[in-house]
Amino acid sequence: WMGRAFRSASGGIVGLDTLVPLSLELYRYHHMSLLDVLRRLTVGPADILRLLWPTGVLQDEIHISAGQPHAINEIDRRGSSCPLLFAWDGHTYRFISDILGSGVVGHWMAPGKRNIPDPAEYLKLDGAMARPRDGRLSFRLLEPMEELDYLDQVRLLAIDHPAGVDVYPNARFSMEPPFPQFKVIVSRGARPPLGAWDRDGHNVLPELLKRDHRFVEGFASTPFAGIAAMHSLELDLGPWNPHRPLRLLLTGFTDYFSASSLYAASQAHLKPVAPYVEALEPDGHWKRVVADMGFPAGLVRTMVADLTGRLPAGTRRIRVVTNLKIFWDQILVDNAPRGIPYHVAPVPLAGARLEFRGYPRAIEGHPEADLRYDYDDISPTGPYARQVGNYTRYGDVLPLLTRADEEDVVFGSGEEVAVEFNASSLPPLPRGWQRDYFFYANGFDKDMDFYAEYGGTVAPMPFHTLIPYPYRTGIAYPEDARHVRYQLEYNTRPVAG
């Protein structure tokens, strides 16, 4: 897609009243080449030519001369990302992962169908990842690209447990309700599967033994972002006790599809297939036992797949099947007994401020979508646009984040919410115990994608409902006195895009 306006050498702006295809079948100028359009619209070379590609990437080319053809390659950059979570570890703000990936609104899924967002997410932090500074645990939620974020609530839970025990939130990305309900998964003695093979029978167990960013990658790509050829991962669970819970602890990341890539894939008669689980029956046939296992909701994290009561006793061979680009780093089989002790203590929210931060340096791994970020290596500018509308004003936003009440901190590209929790209120650890944390965020985000509804504007504001965004007539963000007062008091920073 080619941009909306040309600026002539004389300084005037000449606009096209619609986006026009890069195929050069231009609206009202479909019989003319790009060169002919430039000749008509400018008296000399164009100072700036702005292009908007089908991936949503904006690109400016400068000093485009008339009278000759130009080959322009799309720049290679990502347009959208969920907000990033950083935690103070005693020395610096350490990158944890992204968050709120399941809270995206207005996402095109199929003809006539939009997604239903899940706005609640918990991320686990090992105790060493968060250290008190002046009695407070300090975090940063930063938007590194051009997504728009509506943050409604944050919480921090301290999870105390015996040494030698691991704890995880019951978290994963589910494409359809019912969404995962919060609970603490307590694991002890989790071990790797006895065997692991990809669809072609290759042994991939070495890649799954530990968290080392060596991922299982043996699936074929398609031309559509986030969509691969159908592939499977077969596991030998080994012996397990049917009288105990049976879970998989799966660590990895998802290279997300976009609304545009789903739209294009749909035209090629492809649709996303959420991971499902099959079990090998004694007669040699595979039987589906879990219709939607879920997948990691963004960059590297651990998700839980509960197989309790799903497999006949003695079943050892299962396989996970999908066409999503999911890269597994480690898989553990957990068959721990019930009743392992643990203690949950909320850490009081002590402060929250919205500020402009900038753009942290992205560090690509292998594959390239395995991203990390350096909080201290910051750029004040980035190649990103902003949605048009009223954002939350900079400064104190603590009253907006204490509960989920549709009073959101609205922020976007290059901006961050700094939150502090009062660690001095936590009880001392019992002897032989250790402390980890679950960071909780509740909110929504919106891409600037061609096929994201209202992707270019703040309004209409999303709210908590199982009805897809944008909402049908008669259903809208509340306009009672309290919510109008909130908008007039906090959302007073206009952004022109």
Q: pLDDT tens-digit profile of 97-148?
A: 999 999 999 999 999 999 999 999 999 999 999 999 999 999 999 999 989 9
**What is the token pair recorded at 451?**
């096929």
pLDDT tens digit sequence for 365-399: 999 999 999 999 999 998 888 999 999 999 999 99
**What is the token pair recorded at 346?**
């909320």
Q: E-strand spans in 309-358?
A: 317-324, 326-334, 343-346, 349-356
Amino acid identity of 201? G
Cβ pair 455, 448 in contact under 8 A: yes
Cβ pair 93, 86 in contact under 8 A: yes
39 confidence band (pLDDT: 50, 70, 90):
low
- Please tell me which residue, 66 or 87, carries the higher pLDDT value: 87
Q: What predicted TM-score, i.e. pTM, was given to this entire model? A: 0.88
User: 14 - beta bridge partners?
Assistant: 6
CA–CA dist 184, 349 (Å, integer) = 21
**What is the token pair recorded at 329?**
């780093």
Q: E-strand spans in 336-432?
A: 343-346, 349-356, 359-364, 371-379, 389-391, 395-396, 409-411, 415-422
Cβ pair 151, 443 in contact under 8 A: yes
- Check residue 140 and give left, alpha or beta (phi > 0: left; psi -120 to 50: alpha): beta
